[in-house]
Structure 1
Amino acid sequence: MTRTLTAEPLTPAAFEPFGDVLAASGAPDMLINGGLCGRFHDRARLDFGEGGRAGISIFDARPRSLPCMLDLVERHPDGSQAFVPLHQNPFLVIVAPDSGGVPGTPRAFLTDGAQAINFHRGTWHGVLTPLSEPGLFAVIDRIGATPNLEEYFFATPFRVVAP
């Protein structure tokens, strides 16, 4: 038995409870480099907690297709985690509110190919899910001595479908 979860377009308003949408939308906040570059300034609330530091890693994830199954989410209690695609292809983002220490009902979002995301500290989220090759992402997250990962397996998985 499964439950159905329909993906929706990723918008800053819909994603706000879970994190930040990083996009070069609207007018730039300022022009730099002699007016040749628009800077869209300070788009994510990065948080690396006590005793942590920022790290940048490269992830290479195997692409999936919709529909796909969601049976696992994870969260990082000690820091935020940003995913910046190294391509211009849409990818799937799954998040869930916290409900007494376990994930509540998840939501699925599709990026538009020009968006990155930042999960706030402690946000339940699905695994990295590119929908086409390449699956390369720069990931900015907490590096520290303490474990920063909790996983949760749904007893009844969700079937994530396209809008």
Structure 2
Amino acid sequence: MTLRAIPLTPDAFAPFGRVFDLTGTPGEGVMPMSGEGWRDSYTLAPLIDGPAHLGMTQGPSAPWDCRLMERHPRTEEALFCAGAAIVLAVAPGGTAPAPLAETLRAFIIRPGQVAVMNRGVWHDACRGLKAPTPYYWMATCGLGPDPWVEVSGGPVRVLA
């Protein structure tokens, strides 16, 4: 099975969580500001629904075979780029013991965008759109194990 990543938009990502665009456009929960030679934006509400730890992951490059996914039932998780676009593969949360290959979706997160996954959404580690790429994540850590589980009916080839 093959899956092509699509651009991250609030509508497309709605089944999995929320999207914020910090590139300076007002609305969608973001407040932009600017001054002499600078621009700034921030979210109007806290990014996730609990105390947050900030982490950074170095991901390899797309394309890849998505074989394993994890989920966090006790925290939301926000993902954002460090400087280059990344690709996120997700599957709906729920009571199933494993993500289902036919439900996977993939999104391209560009610099300035933030994807906040709902609690329990299955996800793989992000990959760089064009090259190995570091990215940041924010979640509440230390809440217990969140094991990596094989994709049922997988692997799924994720193309950027």
TM-score by length of 1: 0.76
How far apart, in 1, do the equivalents of 2:146 and 2:52 lie? 16
Deviations 1:57-81 (A, max 9, x none): 22223x2132x21111110111011
1:64 to 2:61 alignment: yes
Deviation at 1:116, TM superposition (A): 2.5
State percent identity of aligned pairs.
28
How far apart, in 2, do the equivalents of 1:44 and 1:118 lie? 11
- Residue 44 of structure 2 aligns with an amino acid whose one-letter code is D
1:135 to 2:139 alignment: no
Deviation at 1:113, TM superposition (A): 3.6
- Residue 115 of structure 2 aligns with an amino acid whose one-letter code is I
How far apart, in 2, do the equivalents of 1:137 and 1:57 lie? 8
How far apart, in 2, do the equivalents of 1:60 and 1:8 lie? 21
RMSD, aligned CA: 2.6
- Residue 74 of structure 1 aligns with an amino acid whose one-letter code is E
SS of the equivalent of 1:143 reads coil
The answer on whether the counterparts of 2:82 and 2:111 sit within 8 Å (CA) in structure 1 is no
Deviations 1:78-119 (A, max 9, x none): 1011122111x2211111113532324101112234322221
Of stretches 99-108 and 69-78 in structure 1, the one that deviates more from structure 2 is: 99-108
SS of the equivalent of 2:155 reads strand
TM-score by length of 2: 0.77
Deviations 1:8-59 (A, max 9, x none): 121111101112222125336354779x6553433665123xxxx3211222
1:157 to 2:155 alignment: yes
Gaps of 5+ in 1: none
1:91 to 2:86 alignment: yes
Report which of the two structures shows the higher radius of gyration computed on alpha carbons. 1
Q: 1:129 to 1:44 in 2, by over 3 A?
A: farther
SS of the equivalent of 1:13 reads helix
How far apart, in 1, do the equivalents of 2:131 and 2:62 lie? 11
Deviations 1:97-150 (A, max 9, x none): 135323241011122343222211111111121234562222211023x31413
